Amino acid sequence: MGRRPCCQKGEMKKGAWTALEDKILTDYITAYGEGKWRTIPKQTGLKRCGKSCRLRWLNYLRPDIKRGNITPDEEDLIIRLHGLLGNRWSLIAGRLPGRTDNEIKNYWNCCLAKRIRKENNREHIYLPNKVKNTKNPKIPTPGPELEENGHRLVPSPAVAAASLQLLLPLPKDPILNSGSVMNGDIVNDLPTLEDESGNVSSSPLTSRDDLSSHIVAETGTSDIFDSVDFSTFDDFLFKQFDSVIEAGWSSWESFEEADISHFGPVDYAALSYASDQWII
């Protein structure tokens, strides 16, 4: 049995919203709050799908939406966050107050992606656009060094940050004494996953609980996590990202070459979009 569609096709209106529809939706949400999107058409008489109502509100009608062009600062942040997170637009938007995921996605697709590709002229480099499950991307696993145009490429701080999801950086902590990043031995000792074909891959450790339990197993203590308030794992990553930005990437400079060898799979998006931050 197939899944029931969110609304009956043919009964619902499509296309651009009218000023009257906007007013009806805004008045309703102002009075009753967000949520229960599917009840809105029934309650208001709007001939719009609940999902359409949600989208209209979140992307256009919300009072805190910021209008106008993306500023250079915002653009810089988008590029860095995209290098870190890939196409997880909602997470990126969460770091840009007043901007919506749709707006950032559009801006990236129409402006940034083309421009950066042009600047770097590296069309052959893997881009994450077609990665279906971006929360668990199957990122290819090159070594920490690449040969290109006869130059030896060494991961710079930007590349290290791009690998945060896989490197699992930790807050500065005397136990690990590793600056901002997890001890390489632990990274190398991440648990593995086995798919239906029996292929083994490194665990992405997509939740904070995964990471926490692994750290406790390795270090015998949960002090690292107890001392920091991370409401979500993404916040955890962002706090690390912010700390690196605030420090002007200097917190990455203490790495020895041996540390770099422990870096996990590199996000190629960051390689192509931040080539100026590669040491060639």
Closest CB to DNA among 9 and 177?
9
- Least Å distance between CB 215 and DNA? 21
Task: Specify whether the CB–CB gap between 249 and 203 falls below 8 A.
Answer: no
Mark residues 138-177: x for contact with DNA by CB under 7 A, - for none: ----------------------------------------
133 is an interface residue for DNA by CB under 7 A: yes
Taking CA atoms, 169 is separated from 42, 159, 183, 204, in Å, by: 48, 13, 9, 13
Task: Specify whether the CB–CB gap between 145 and 153 falls below 8 A.
Answer: yes
- Helix spans in 139-204 (H): 157-162, 164-167, 184-188
- Least Å distance between CB 159 and DNA? 21
Dist. CA 181–CA 160, nearest whole Å: 9
Closest CB to DNA among 6 and 279?
6
Question: Out of 23, 27, 32, 36, which residue is the one contacting DNA (CB under 7 A)?
Answer: 36
Q: What DSSP state is assigned to residue 275?
A: G
Dist. CA 83–CA 95, nearest whole Å: 14
74 is an interface residue for DNA by CB under 7 A: no
Please work out, in degrees rounded to the nearest 5, the angle formed at the alpha carbon of residue 100 by the alpha carbons of 94 and 104.
95
83 is an interface residue for DNA by CB under 7 A: no
135 is an interface residue for DNA by CB under 7 A: yes
- Least Å distance between CB 59 and DNA? 6
Task: Specify whether the CB–CB gap between 173 and 223 falls below 8 A.
Answer: yes
35 is an interface residue for DNA by CB under 7 A: yes
The footprint of DNA (CB under 7 A) covers: 1, 3-4, 6, 13-17, 35-38, 48-52, 54-56, 59-60, 87-91, 101-103, 105-107, 109-111, 114, 128-135
